[in-house]
Amino acid sequence: MIEAGVLKASRLPCFNNPTDVQPINGGITNQNLRVTDGERQFVVRIGEDIPEHGVMRWNELELSRAAESAGISPGVFYHEPGVLVLDFIKADTLSEAAVRDSHTLPCIVELLRKAHTDLALHLTTPILAFWPFQVNRTYANLLKAEQSVHASKLPDLLKELSALELATGPVSLVVGHGDLLAANILDDGSRLWLIDWEYGGFNTPLFDLAGLAGNNGLSEAQERDMLVQYFETPADDHWRAYQAMKCTSLMRETLWSMVSEMHSTIDFDYKAYTAENMSRLTTALNDFRNT
């Protein structure tokens, strides 16, 4: 698979004389490669639509272009069906520990707020919505229909999901990122960048904030500071809805991994990833019940 990706990237018509094509480790949805062409470097993302995850590449392309125009993501250089070529940014990929850093975390929150404020101003076509409650129900229906080994867990998860949706209540809509893993945040030494817009779309800002916290192990004090910084109001104004969305985000990551166990051909330990996220979800649900 890697060899085929290298060959495909090296033959793209957007390059003049690609001299070095190297896989980039870490992708759990796409195959990513770094290509050197003359004095420039690029990232080539290879991946078709993924209907079971709601990933539509036209949507990713539109959001990538808008994020470039907003100055928060690398530039789009070329695209064709199943391929997206972006400018390469010399930067470090954040770790979960780096996300939790007391100097870095406020910068990430400001980057999110900029994305939520500015992206809609740069859209040129309609985009998808990403409503996590429906996403989770769709995953559950698919897992049940395909007789997943996790099917016995679904009734309890869906019961929890209904309670979480009720607790979230009315929401405001922004154009969100939808996948706030540490690996999707880059630090070039002077500023941060957001990458990978596969799951972007209209959503509540609480989902990105909750995903940032749940995926990166923020403490309660950090979560409260994050809410105060983002909303500029006391954390308690949003705390219960935020806790509900944190559980929903972790449930989405868990169900996503369960589906990926059955469908993905990427070389990644989805079984272990499912277990890790189920553990985080269980802790978050316990915390939510005690709020």
Note the pLDDT of residue 26: 67
Report residue 191's pLDDT band, with 50, 70 and 90 as the boundaries: very high
What pLDDT band is residue 71 in, cutting at 50, 70 and 90?
Answer: very high
pLDDT at 266 > cutoff 90? no
Higher-pLDDT residue of 29 and 262 is 262
CA distances for 106 relative to 109, 118, 167, 224, angstroms = 5, 18, 27, 12
If you average pLDDT over every residue of the chain, what do you get? 95
Least confident range from 7-16, 24-33, 185-194, 279-288: namely 24-33
Helices (H), 22-153: 57-69, 96-100, 104-118, 132-145
- List the structure tokens of 282: 């269980």
pLDDT of 20 above 70: yes
What CATH architecture applies to the domain 2-87?
2-Layer Sandwich (3.30)
Structure confidence at residue 159 (pLDDT): 97
Mean pLDDT value of segment 121-140: 97
Q: Using CA atoms, how far apart are residues 29 and 9, in angstroms rounded to an integer?
A: 17
Q: Checking DSSP bridges between strand 92-93 and strand 174-176, what pairing results, if any?
A: unpaired
Of 178-182, 184-188, 286-290, the one with minimum mean pLDDT is 286-290
- Report pLDDT for 30: 82
User: For residue 267, what pLDDT is reported?
Assistant: 83
25 by DSSP, 3-state: which?
Answer: coil
Residues contacting residue 264 through CB under 8 Å, at least 6 positions apart: 28, 29, 270
User: Domains of the chain: which residue ranges?
Assistant: 2-87, 92-289
CATH (one of 3.40.50.11270, 3.40.50.450, 3.30.479.30, 3.90.1200.10) for 92-289: 3.90.1200.10
Tokens of 99: 């996300």
Residue 1: band (very low, low, confident or very high) from pLDDT cuts 50, 70, 90: low
What letter represents residue 209's amino acid?
A: L
Check whether 137 has a pLDDT greater than 90.
yes
Assess contact for 174 and 202: CB atoms under 8 A.
yes
| 230 dihedral zone (left: phi>0; alpha: psi -120 to 50; beta) | alpha
Q: What is the pLDDT of residues 206-235, one digit of tens each?
A: 999 999 999 999 999 999 999 999 999 999
Cα distance between residue 211 and residue 208, in whole Å: 5
pLDDT in tens, 168-179: 999 999 999 999
Measure the CA–CA gap between 121 and 219, rounded to whole angstroms: 33
Which residues is 192 bridged to in the sheet?
A: 187
